[in-house]
């Protein structure tokens, strides 16, 4: 029996000031395509230093976005769709992570994406807070330990991140695959990949994973390019390659915003169709605040 392939989405929590109704209205167009789940990203509090009259500086935390837990609750209540909050190592102690898991369990949120998280601005290397976790595999282990200690073994379905073009901190692809296997061996149920623009890169990645003994589902992540600026920004931000065929076509139309938008959508749509034809379990879309281009792909492919 062939399993139904599904779309899933990732959204970013809104900046403070956006209302719940505005957020839900942004998500509503996706619901007709029955996404299997909606991921909600997590963002560390920022550190600001305010100069005082005596010349000293006072440290304070700044939170620019609504919490992922609040967003998950709003989505879950309105649409009855599974939500997947991101749970990160950065900025949290082991105790604070346990508190988060208690909240998720209370809310009936049984799916989480366990990530190390990014460095703070200005940091050259990731540094956990005292009493925090340094790697995502440690976070996965902590979630499984929480289940045992609270009599709810198997409650959480844990996703982890995979990098078809290698995490930028890994020395080579073999090292990166070994790191990924540690996360799976710690108890992860599935892998969601970083965005990519060449399906061959994904298929090669899956092949490497299988040869390394990683057998959990691997869900590809896609992001349609919508502006010429993204040709530069996406590789800088995510350490990924964009094929010359795509960048050259965008460059030839960079003064025509509608053409660039269509080029990016058609490229991602072709990727999606090819991935589905190759039997992937589902396709995960990074919305990054954009919906119309992804809605068009969902309408065509699902």
pLDDT at 124 over 80: no
293/264 Cα distance (integer angstroms): 8
- pLDDT, one tens digit per residue, over 44-85 is 666 666 667 776 777 666 667 889 999 999 999 999 899 999
- pLDDT, one tens digit per residue, over 248-278 is 999 999 999 999 999 999 999 999 999 999 9
Q: Three-state SS across 49-81? A: EEECCCCCEEEEEECCECCHHHHHHHHHHHHCC
pLDDT for the residue 59 = 65
Domain positions in the chain: 6-301
- pLDDT band, residue 225 (cuts 50/70/90): very high
Give the CATH fold of the 6-301 domain: TIM Barrel (3.20.20)
Q: Is 68 exposed, middle or buried (0-12, 13-18, 19+ CB in 10 A)?
A: buried
Point out the residues that are catalytic. 10
42/136 Cα distance (integer angstroms): 14
For residue 48, the SS3 value is: strand
The pTM (predicted TM-score) of the whole model is 0.91
């Amino acid at each position: 029996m062939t399993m139904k392939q599904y779309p899933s989405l990732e959204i970013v929590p809104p900046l403070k000031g956006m209302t719940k109704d505005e957020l839900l209205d942004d998500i509503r167009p996706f619901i007709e395509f029955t996404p299997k789940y909606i991921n909600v990203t997590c963002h560390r509090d920022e550190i600001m230093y305010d100069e005082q009259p005596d010349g000293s500086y006072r440290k304070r935390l700044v939170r620019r976005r609504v919490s992922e837990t609040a967003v998950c609750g709003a989505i879950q209540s309105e649409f009855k769709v599974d939500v997947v909050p991101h749970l990160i190592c950065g900025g949290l102690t082991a105790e604070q992570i346990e508190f988060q898991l208690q909240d998720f369990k209370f809310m009936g949120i049984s799916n989480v994406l366990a990530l190390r998280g990014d460095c703070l601005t200005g940091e050259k290397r990731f540094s956990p807070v005292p009493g925090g976790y340094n790697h995502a595999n440690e976070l996965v282990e902590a979630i499984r330990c929480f289940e045992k200690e609270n009599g709810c073994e198997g409650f959480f379905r844990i996703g982890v991140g995979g990098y078809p073009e290698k995490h930028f901190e890994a020395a080579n692809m073999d090292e990166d695959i070994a790191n990924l296997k540690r996360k799976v061996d710690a108890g992860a149920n599935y892998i969601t990949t970083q965005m990519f623009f060449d399906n061959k890169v994904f298929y090669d990645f899956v092949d490497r994973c299988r040869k390394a003994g990683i057998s959990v589902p691997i869900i590809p992540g896609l992001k349609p390019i919508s502006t010429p600026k993204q040709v530069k920004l996406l590789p800088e931000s995510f350490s990924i390659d964009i094929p010359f065929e795509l960048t050259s076509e965008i460059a030839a139309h960079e003064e025509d915003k509608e053409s660039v938008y269509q080029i990016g959508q058609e490229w991602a749509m072709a990727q999606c169709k090819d991935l589905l034809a190759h039997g992937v379990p589902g396709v995960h879309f990074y919305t990054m605040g954009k919906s119309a281009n992804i809605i068009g792909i969902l309408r065509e492919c699902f």
